[in-house]
Every structure is written in structure tokens, then in C-alpha cells.
Chain A
Amino acid sequence: MDAPIIELTDVKKSFGPVSVLKGVSLKVFPGKITALVGDNGAGKSTLIKGLAGVQPYDEGQVKFNGNVVALHNPREASALGIEVVYQDLALCDNLDIVQNMFLGREETSFGTFDEGRMEREASETLQSLSVRTVKSVRQKVASLSGGQRQTVAIARSVLKSAQVVILDEPTAALGVAQTEQVLNLVKRLAERGVGVLMISHNLVDVFQVADYINVLYLGQMVASVEASKTTSDDVVGYITGSKTYTGAAV
């Protein structure tokens, strides 16, 4: 097994008196899909916000490629190659696909946009992910379906050689066919060697794509298992706290 690209050790986070993460450890491997599951309020969002640099952890160690790093703001995270695709799709409806994919990191020459270059890179990225559902890269995002938007959001995350992509509920609110498309996209991300951390409530989706499954329960990582060595029933048990994982963490 490769060395983990991200290794969290004993991270803690509290909001005032409420302790949300009580010493969580997590590994994400390059080229693998690591699922993070847990009930509402288990601390999933807080965990990824720390990785994204949006809400830094209070305590604990974050290792990236074996080196201890500090993640204080989103720029530091994205400089390392950690990209987050948020559940509520951080896209601007009024901009087109290219503009959204390059938002915040536009290619310029002489201080003005190099639209040609951005357009080429955007369509190359979409093609490398075998995206065939969008007609034109100059379509406004407002005119896209939910699955297409998710596709654009994911394509945006890999545009600049991301090493780790964190997906927050990528299939929530999608139809069956669109879910399938997005899950295929997630697999292709991993095939490119990207470390994928996927949060999901849908265990069917998780078992379809994930290599590893991590279960958060009330701010603690109660199970870290290989997906092939566990069952949906067990995972449900860990999520609800009715079963205890006895094996070693991956």
C-alpha cells in the first residue's frame, strides 16, 4: 500500500463548550477513494472544513505527503493541492462553465484574461474525465442540470493538478442516472491518482465506489475499514452506535 497522502492524527475541534471532534485520525491514500460516513452531527463537515482550511483544527497533527503542515486558510489548502467540492455546489449561476472552473485562478496575460487558454484547459479537463453531457463550455451554469453542475464542480477541483479532492455529498439530490454519472466521475478521479475523500449518506453509493470506509460517531472515528472487508449492516451499526468495530484501523 502507498503511503497516505493525508494523515490526520488526533485532531480536535470545539465550538465554545461543544466539542465536535474529539481526537479524530484519518488517512487518505492517493488513487483510492476513502469514504467518510456518519450521522448528522457526527462532525463530518467540521472534519473537512479543517482540511479545507476554512475552520482550522484546534489541536492535532495534519500530515501531507508525510510532512506536517498547517492549514489556516483555504489558500494554504489549495496551494497543497487539496480541493473541496461542497454539497451546495459552490458555482456562480451567472457565469459560464469556463468562468466557473477558473474562478479565483484565471489565466491572464498582460493583466487581461487569456480566454482561449482557459477554454482549452477547461474542455481538456472535462474530456479527460470523459464528460459528454455538456454541450458547450460556454454555457451558463444556470442552464445546467444538477448532475451537470456536480460534474462542473468536480472538474473544477481537478483543473489545477489537485492531489486530494474532498467531495461533500456528491450524489445528494441527484437522479439515478445522474448519480451513476457522478460516481463514474469519482472513480475516474481516483484512476488519475488523486486521493479522494468522499462524504456520503448513501451507503449504496459508498459501497459502489469506496476503497476505504471511515465512520464518525459523535466526534470520534469509530471504524476505519476496507470496504471489501465489511458489510452495509456493519457500517450502519457503526454509524448508529449499535455496533462496535473491533478490528484495527486501516
Chain B
Amino acid sequence: MSVTRTPETPEPAQQFTITDTSVNDQIGSGQDGGVMDQFRAYIQRVRSGEMGALPAVAGFVVLCILFAALSPYFLTDRNFANLLTQAATLVMLAMALVFVILLGEIDLSAGVTSGVALSIFVVLSDPGGAIKMNWILALIIALLTGVAIGTFIGFFVAKVGIPSFVVTLGLFLGFQGLQLIIIGAGGLYRIQQPQMLAIQNNNMPDWAGWVMLVVMLAISFGTAMLDRRRRTRAGVPNRTIVLLWIRLAVIAILGGVVIALLNQNRGQVNYLNGKVISGQVIEGVPIVVPITLFILWVGTFVLDRTKFGRYIYAVGGNPEAARRAGIKVTQIKWAAFGVCSTLAVVSGVFSASKVGSVDAAFGRDIVLSGVAAAVVGGVSLFGGRGRLIHGAIGALVIAVITNGLGLLNLPGGVNFLVTGGVLILAATVDAVSRVRGGGSLTRR
């Protein structure tokens, strides 16, 4: 066999010329076209398996309708506020876990991490205890405990190379003991600081709820406009602005309805001649809601718009590619575990505020619900796929199951059965959609 070199007669297609026509004439940017084009593109993405939080949102709506039909108490404003505060702990924990699940890792110790940190908090800050530390200082120490634990996990996972499942399983067992030692066997500390209890039990004044909504709309509008300006300056097309108006309208309507509901008095009050004679007016958005929304916004900002966030997705998608692109995979993993454990402590703060006490079993049982929430919300356990809000939505689904079944007076066992069923259903939806998108090799 003798192959000679082909003579160098370049075909027209091989020539290296940039024509004067706009850059995007040949290669699209996914931003072109009107609302209908964008809508069709979205349908296309959903059909090819990129469902995101869609199944979880649908599930949430279906469950709400179901429970509203079955229980007269479900759709009351009091239960609605209850649902939010019940869900807050799980929402925060699921958001914490998203950071490590995106890497394809897991943190089974997130719950007991919050337990250890809150144990330290109550022991340090207990007004009747030996130390009597300022509660803010103690809270900072609790959060730093989270950072330290995350760093500890990150060291073993990223540096030593032990699977995170094993490391955090070890810590899950070990920290229960640590918590027992800190708190003392059978011990229980009440949360004594009104500010701590206020997070879950007090509400913002009515006007603050509306201010919150306006701030959300302003931030949403502002970042979108900044993005558009940057894109225009770079000379690439923008999505049609109608989509932005639609998004703002959805936020305004949904947020408006929620805030209007929460601003209703949900306390039992007896009036006489317009004066309150007994009971208490309870109204307004629970304080935990803006805190959660703020952390959700900051976290989403970091994941979508900064190198740290992008590298988390890259490491989760293909660690080897990330390493070859010059990303310090070890540091990214390390940092992600730090973020996870710290946010887990925040979720512990929510829980302590809601329950009003910390005991030796605090935070022990919640972590698997957190993982389930993330998966239900559409975060892939294999890493690289999912967003922070998916964790939050998944947590709301699980919280609504707990809440709704509780109102129906069903035995506690049913709750676990249904939650487990929903988890498997969510995983099935994810798997089937990915097979349809051609992503999996295990079927067809």
C-alpha cells in the first residue's frame, strides 16, 4: 500500500475567511428568536430530558390540590405559614447538600454536623450554664464549627481520596457520640435567646413583606438588564425582552399572593369594640423566609456567575477534564464541603429556632430527607446537573407531604411510605427522561 500526499488544492470550505455578515448568522446562540421560538426551544429541551425542576413543581401542585381536597385545614393561611416554617430547615439542608451533590459527592453527616454545632452553641450560650457566652459570638463559633467540619471532610475526600460516602458515614456515627459528650446523656438545652426563637416564630411587619417583594423584583430586573447590556456590548443577541417581563410578572404574582396570604391575621383573636381582648394577632411573612431567599440568591449567584460555581459543575461533570483545564479539583471539592457544612449549620439554627431546644439527637434523622429533597427537586446524584432552587423545591415537596399527611391524621408510618414513594417516582421520572434524551445506555 502506498499512499501519496493529496495535492494541496484547498476546497472553498477550507478557506480561512471571516465574512462581513454577523457572527451569529451561521452558529446560533440559543438566544435568538421571539417568545414562541424560545418556548419551542424550552419544550425541545424538556423533551430531550432536561426537565430541571419541572416534575417537582408539578408534583408540588398536584400534592397541594390533593391535600386541599382531602383536608379543610390544608388551604388555610395558618397552615400555609406553618408549612413554610416546617419546610425551612429542610430547604436549607437540601440547598447545603446541592453543593456537594453537584460534585457527585454526598455528605451524610450534614445533619449531625448541625447537631454538633448547635450543641456547642447551646452549651456556650446557655444563660444558666458555666460559660454564658454572648449568643452572637456563640452563633459565630457554631458557624465556624461548620466550616471546620466541612474542611475536615474535604481533607479526607479531596486530599486523601476516601469516598465521601464512607467519610461522612463515619462522621455520621462519630458525631452522634461527640454530640452526646457535649450535651451530656439525656440532656436537653432550651433555646433562651428571643432573637434565635424569632427566626422561625416571629413575622415581619406587613410592609416589610412587600418591600421584600419589591427588592426581589428589583434585583431580578437589575441583573437581567446588566446581563443584556454586557451582551449588547459584546455584540451577541439578547433573548427577547418579553421573557424578562413574563418572569417578573410570575415573581410578582406568586410572591404577591404568598405575601398577601401571610399578611392575613392567622392568630386566634377575640375582639370587643375593635380592641383585642384575648389572643394575639399573628400576621406577616415569617422571618425565616427572607433569610432563606437571601441565601438562595447568593448561592445561585455564586453557582451561575462565578468561577467557583462553574468549576463545581465542571468537576461534577468530568473531573479529569476539569483537571486538564487547570482547575484545582482538590480545592474546589474542599471548598464545596466547607459551604455544605456551613449551610447545614444554618439549617440547624432554623431547626433549633423552630423546636426551641437542642438535645443529643438533634439533627440526626434529617439528612436523608435532605438528600431525597435534592433528588426529588431534580439534582442528579451523579453530579453536574441541578440548581440550588431545585433543592429548595424538592424540600417543599417533601415538607408538603409531611404537612398534608399530618393534617389527615394518618399514622406516622404512612408519611415515610409516601415520601419514599415520591423519591423513587422522582428518580424514575429523571431516569426515563434521560433515556428519552439518549443519555443512558441501560435501556432501549
| Residue B258 is within 8 A (CB to CB) of chain A in the complex | no
Tell me whether B74 is interfacial, beta carbon within 8 Å. Answer: no
Distance of A189 from chain B, by nearest CB (Å): 10
B24 near A138 with CB under 8 A, answer no
Report the minimum CB–CB distance from B378 to chain A (whole Å).
Answer: 13
* B-chain residues with CB within 8 Å of residue A139 when the two chains form the complex: 30
Residues of B within 8 A of A103 (CB): 310, 314, 321-322, 325, 327
B385 to A, closest residue via Cβ: A94
Question: A217–B293 Cα gap in the complex (Å)?
Answer: 63
* Extra pairs beyond A103-B325, A135-B28 (15, CB < 8 Å): A54-B324, A90-B325, A94-B385, A103-B322, A106-B307, A116-B227, A117-B230, A117-B234, A119-B234, A119-B236, A130-B14, A138-B28, A184-B14, A191-B16, A192-B16
A129, B18: Cα distance in complex, Å: 9
Contacts of B278 in A (CB 8 A): none
Q: Does A207 lie within 8 Å of B4, measured CB to CB? A: yes
Residues of B within 8 A of A (CB): 1-6, 10, 13-16, 18, 23-24, 26-31, 48, 50, 227, 230-236, 301, 305-307, 310, 313-314, 316-318, 320-322, 324-327, 384-385, 439
Partner of B233, one of A116, A135, A191, A192: A116
- Given A112-B305, A116-B236, A131-B27, A92 and B227 contact (CB-CB distance below 8 Å): no
Check A74/B326 contact, CB under 8 A, given A91-B321, A112-B305, A137-B27. yes
30 A-B pairs, CB-CB below 8 angstroms? A54-B324, A74-B324, A74-B326, A84-B324, A89-B321, A90-B324, A91-B321, A92-B317, A92-B321, A93-B384, A94-B385, A95-B313, A95-B314, A103-B322, A103-B327, A116-B235, A117-B230, A119-B29, A119-B236, A124-B18, A127-B26, A128-B18, A131-B27, A132-B13, A136-B28, A137-B29, A138-B28, A208-B6, A231-B3, A232-B2
Chain B at the A interface: mostly helix, strand, loop or mixed? loop
The answer on a CB contact under 8 Å between B385 and A115 is no
Whether A92 and B305, one on each chain, are in contact in the complex, defined by CB atoms closer than 8 angstroms, is no
- Does A109 reach chain B (CB closer than 8 Å)? yes
- Is B2 a contact partner of A105 (Cβ separation < 8 A)? no
**In whole angstroms, how far apart are the Cα atoms of A113 and B23 in the complex?**
21
A143 at the interface (CB under 8 A from B): yes
A-B contacts, CB under 8 A, total = 153
Query: Bound state CA distance, A74 and B325, in angstroms?
Result: 8
Partner among A78, A94, A134, A138 whose Cβ is within 8 Å of the Cβ of B313: A94
Q: Is the CB of A86 within 8 A of B324?
A: yes
Min CB gap B327→A, angstroms:
5
Nearest CB to that of A130 among chain B residues? B13
**Cα distance, A74 to B320, chains bound together (Å):** 13
Measured CA separation A236–B314 after assembly (Å) = 40
Q: Are A104 and B327 in contact (CB under 8 A)?
A: yes
CA distance A117 to B10 in the complex (A): 32
CA distance A122 to B92 in the complex (A): 37
The 9 closest A-B pairs by CB, nearest first: A116-B234, A138-B30, A104-B325, A92-B317, A116-B231, A94-B384, A94-B317, A136-B28, A90-B321
A203 within 8 A of B: yes
Identity of the chain A residue whose Cβ is nearest the Cβ of B321 in the assembled complex: A90
- Complex CA distance for A192 and B16, rounded to whole angstroms: 8
- Closest partner residue, chain B, to A75 (CB atom): B326
Contact check, A106 vs B310: say whether CB atoms are below 8 A apart: yes
Q: Are B3 and A120 in contact (CB under 8 A)?
A: no
**Across the interface, do A78 and B326 meet the contact criterion of CB distance under 8 Å?**
yes
By a CB distance below 8 angstroms, the chain B residues around A207 are 3-5
- Please tell me if the beta carbons of B27 and A120 are within 8 angstroms of each other in the complex: no
Which chain A positions have C-beta within 8 A of B301?
A: 112
Least Cβ distance of A53 to chain B in Å? 10
Q: Are B28 and A127 in contact (CB under 8 A)?
A: no
In the bound complex, CA of A135 to CA of B1 (Å): 39
Interfacial chain B residues near A78, Cβ < 8 Å:
326
A227 within 8 A of B: yes
| B316: A residues at CB distance < 8 A | 94
Q: Is the CB of A137 within 8 A of B314?
A: no
Does the CB pair B384–A203 fall under 8 Å?
no
Q: Considering the chains assembled together, what is the distance between the CA atoms of A129 and B321 in angstroms?
A: 23
Contact A130 B15 (CB under 8 A): yes
When distances are taken between beta carbons in the complex, the residues of chain A under 8 Å from B31 are 138
Q: How far is the CA of A116 from the CA of B318 in the complex (A)?
A: 25
